Amino acid sequence: MNLSEFDSACLAGDLGEASQFAMSILVRIGEIQSASEMIDITRAHIDSTLFQGDATLEFAEKLAHMDAKVVVPTTLNVSGVDEHGWQDWAVPPEWAEKAHRQMIAYQSMGTEATWTCAPYQVSEKPSFGEQIAWGESNAVAFANSVLGARTIQYPDLLDVCAAITGRVPAVGLHLNENRAGEILLKLIDIPEDLQTDDSFAPVLGHLLGTIADDRVPVVEGLTVELAEDHLKAICAGGASSGAVHLFHIVGQTPEALTLAEAFQGHEPTEVHDINLRDLRRIRSELDSSQGKSLDMVVLGSPHFSFAEFRKLAPMLEGQQCHTGVDFLVTSSRAMVKLAREAGMLDTLEAFGGKVTVDTCILTTPMLFPETRHLMTNSAKYAYYSPGLLDAEVAFGSMADCVRSAISGRVQTNNSLWDS
């Protein structure tokens, strides 16, 4: 790999111990990836913030002790603890203390304390064509697919190295030729009222990941323009069931004004026709519930947006959550602040709901052991909860989730899916 003068100076330790450490790791990974050179990035999003145990803490504190500082605007992904709310849940104090130390370590590096898996909601969005280094799979898919920015999926530990040096190996989706569509998914006769329902996008995302795996899928046949939250849901679904870091939607996403542009003039290597029956089958894969029992409704993976709070609040107005059900929204500080100012948090709390910030049910051990039956409208929660939390998950729309929280039993209205 050709190194610039700057890269070599970093490696030699001229810019300090942290830059040297970070560059040595970047260069080793660049060599493994067969990169020919390194390029500049102008933004980073650090997923290394997730506390996974002593190793991630020791890594963060090692960098902090080297006085590591980021050299590009850098947002932080979720942490391992809601530092103000963890006492209400099952989080062990030792976990909270260590996860909080890890937060302090990353904050000390000159980063923006966003603590969210949806940085595109709370910070300036990267622009089209901008080279960035983002971790967190849904955010990577969003940056590439929805914004047209350029990032590979940075693993934990490497994203912070990129932020400290402002340099990354020039590989994968950083390069134009790797951004062409590879396979085509043609949606056939999907009703428009289903396309606009919030249960549709997570299922479409789960389908993309299942079929595409790590290839770039192109979706044709959507007749409704998807809202940002629906695009977010596709990203989360596709990056959970598969390794989808970039997808194109013909006529909607910025590198796919036409089918030909999405494929950069090439032919698709595979074409899949997808009808409503296929989508129903895929939807059933997201649902691991065995019956109607319900302990908790959880919304907000990726983190709940202000638009979602605005949609949810009227559904909760004048209603009461069942006493046997917890109702939780996971979101960011910034979105919760907006919701509070708009009075929506009062509505949520009057309903009997709670909010957790900075983290989520998958990244902090907050759930009590008796919480076994979950319901969500998130493909990501539905995908990961069985393995990570040993919980059953019912999948439905936001309205289904609210209806079920009120009645205390899983209730889904499938009429849109049955037409």
Partner 1 sequence: MGDFIQGKTLVEGKATGPALWSDKPLSFWGGYDQNTGEIIDRRHPLVGHIGANRIIAIPHTKGSSTSTAVLLEAVRRGKSPAAIITTGVASFLALASIVANELYDISFPVLMVDEDDFDKLESADWVSISDDGVIEIGADPQPTSPS
State the minimum distance, in angstroms, from the CB of residue 215 to partner 1: 12
- Site for partner 1 contains 242 (CB under 8 A): yes
Q: For partner 1, how many residues bind (rule: CB under 8 A)?
A: 42
- Binding test (CB under 8 A) with partner 1, winner from 137, 165, 356, 412: 137
CB 116 within 8 A of CB 77: yes
Kindly state the greatest CA–CA separation across the chain: 66
Q: How many CB atoms lie within 10 A of CB 100?
A: 17
Q: How many CB atoms lie within 10 A of CB 53?
A: 11
Contact window for partner 1 (CB under 8 A) among 9-17, 152-160, 340-348, 401-409: 152-160
Nearer to partner 1 by Cβ, of 383 and 395: the residue is 383
Q: How far is C-alpha 372 from the chain's CA centre?
A: 23
Contact window for partner 1 (CB under 8 A) among 123-131, 148-156, 173-181, 186-194: 148-156
The CA–CA distances, whole Å, from 397 to 230, 372, 394, 411 equal 12, 20, 10, 10
Which 31-90 residues touch partner 1, going by CB under 8 A?
Answer: 32-34, 47-48, 50, 52-56, 58-59, 62
Contact window for partner 1 (CB under 8 A) among 92-100, 217-225, 313-321, 383-391: 383-391
State the minimum distance, in angstroms, from the CB of residue 199 to partner 1: 20
Q: Which residue has the tokens 């698709």?
A: 268
CA distance 72 to 112: 11
Per-residue binding letters, 195-224, with partner 1 (x by CB under 8 A)? ------------------xx----------
CB 96 within 8 A of CB 190: no
Q: How far is C-alpha 2 from the chain's CA centre?
A: 33
Contact window for partner 1 (CB under 8 A) among 89-97, 121-129, 150-158, 296-304: 150-158
Nearer to partner 1 by Cβ, of 21 and 200: the residue is 21
Nearer to partner 1 by Cβ, of 109 and 250: the residue is 109
CB 332 within 8 A of CB 78: no
State the minimum distance, in angstroms, from the CB of residue 171 to partner 1: 9
Contact window for partner 1 (CB under 8 A) among 105-113, 153-161, 331-339, 369-377: 153-161
- Site for partner 1 contains 25 (CB under 8 A): yes
Nearer to partner 1 by Cβ, of 155 and 291: the residue is 155
Question: Where would I find the beta strands (DSSP E) of 318-371?
Answer: 326-331, 353-357
Pairing of strands 248-249, 326-331: unpaired
Nearer to partner 1 by Cβ, of 338 and 374: the residue is 374
CA distance 276 to 223: 14
- Site for partner 1 contains 358 (CB under 8 A): no
- Site for partner 1 contains 362 (CB under 8 A): yes
- Binding test (CB under 8 A) with partner 1, winner from 386, 407, 414, 419: 386
Angle (nearest 5°) at CA 245 between 239 and 248: 110
Cβ-based neighbours of 365, under 8 Å, separated by 6 or more? 90, 91, 92, 95
DSSP for 113-182, written as a single string: ----S-HHHHSPPPPTT-B-EE-SHHHHHIIIIII--B--BPPTTHHHHHHHHSEEE--GGGSGGGGS--
- Site for partner 1 contains 29 (CB under 8 A): yes
Question: Where would I find the beta strands (DSSP E) of 262-411?
Answer: 270-274, 296-304, 326-331, 353-357, 373-376, 392-395
Per-residue binding letters, 275-304, with partner 1 (x by CB under 8 A)? -------------x----------------
- Binding test (CB under 8 A) with partner 1, winner from 83, 112, 156, 261: 156
* Residues within the interface to partner 1 (CB under 8 A): 21, 25, 28-29, 32-34, 47-48, 50, 52-56, 58-59, 62, 135-137, 140, 153-159, 213-214, 239-240, 242-243, 288, 362, 383-384, 386-388
